[in-house]
Amino acid sequence: MSIFEQLGSLTAVKKLAEEFYDVMETDPEVIELRAIHPGKLHSSRKALYKFMSEWFGGPTLYGEQYINATWLELRHRRFCINDQQRDQWLYCMNKAMVNLQYESKLRNLMLGRFSDMIKSMQLQRRHVEQEKAEQMARIR
Ligand code: HEM
């Protein structure tokens, strides 16, 4: 059963994206993460909702070619995705799922998926930075 089927509907995915950003907007534990997001979160909320719908096996609202760590890392290139940012992002997602009373089995499965995606983005970032450093070394 896909995660989308377990969530049950697009409305459930939208609720999760909204709750995630509500936590980010109100919880003092994540001020560093909030600070790198735009003042208004309207388009961030929409983008995460569409991304999650497709990534979890639901309607393809985001664009098949973009649902991967390489593209997602590219879209996050201008932001720091260090361990503090990772922990604050996962904190918001976990708290959102607790607030929406997700069963712990589904919540842990989804946290694992998000955590793996962040790990892949961090690895991709390291790879890109290493390539850049090697290029610079070759130029010198
Ligand atoms: C270290 C963890 C992460 C940080 C610090 C982070 C931060 C950000 C920031 C600051 C934006 C820009 C928001 C805007 O301009 O509207 C963004 C966009 C986005 N993030 Fe993340 N994010 C993280 C992890 C993730 C993960 C795990 C996912 C999905 C599984 C995700 C999905 C997205 C999507 C879909 C966008 C919109 C991209 C676009 O269309 O340009 N992010 N993120």
Give residues with Cβ within 8 angstroms of 66, minimum separation 6: 51, 72
Whether the per-residue pLDDT at 134 is higher than 80: the answer is: yes
CATH of 3-139, one of 2.40.30.10, 1.10.490.10, 3.40.50.300, 3.40.50.720: 1.10.490.10
Instruction: Determine the pLDDT at residue 120.
Output: 94
Please compute Rg for the chain using Cα positions. 16
Q: How far is CA 33 from the centre of its chain?
A: 12
Instruction: Determine the pLDDT at residue 66.
Output: 77
Cα distance between residue 71 and residue 8, in whole Å? 27
Instruction: Determine the pLDDT at residue 92.
Output: 98
Q: Does 48 contact ligand 1 (Cβ within 6 A)? A: yes
For ligand 1, mutation pick of 33, 42, 44 (most atoms within 8 Å of CB): 44
Q: Convert the pLDDT of each residue in 33-42 to its tens digit.
A: 999 999 999 9
Instruction: Determine the pLDDT at residue 64.
Output: 72
Cα 105 to ligand 1 centre (Å)? 25
> Tokens representing 42?
């309207």
- Rounded to 5°, the CA angle 118-120-126 comes to 105
Q: Which secondary-structure segment (H or E) carries 14?
A: helix 10-26
Whether the per-residue pLDDT at 23 is higher than 80: the answer is: yes
- What is the identity of the amino acid at 32? E
Instruction: Determine the pLDDT at residue 35.
Output: 96
The residues spanned by each domain of the chain are 3-139
Task: For the chain, count helices (H), then strands (E).
Answer: 7, 0
Q: Convert the pLDDT of each residue in 66-120 to its tens digit.
A: 788 888 889 899 888 999 999 999 999 999 999 999 999 999 999 999 999 999 9
Instruction: Determine the pLDDT at residue 63.
Output: 83
Higher-confidence residue of 109 and 65: namely 109
Asked if 42 and 7 touch (Cβ cutoff 8 Å), the reply is no
Residue nearest to atom 43 of ligand 1 (CA): 76
Q: How far is CA 71 from the centre of its chain?
A: 12
Instruction: Determine the pLDDT at residue 140.
Output: 83
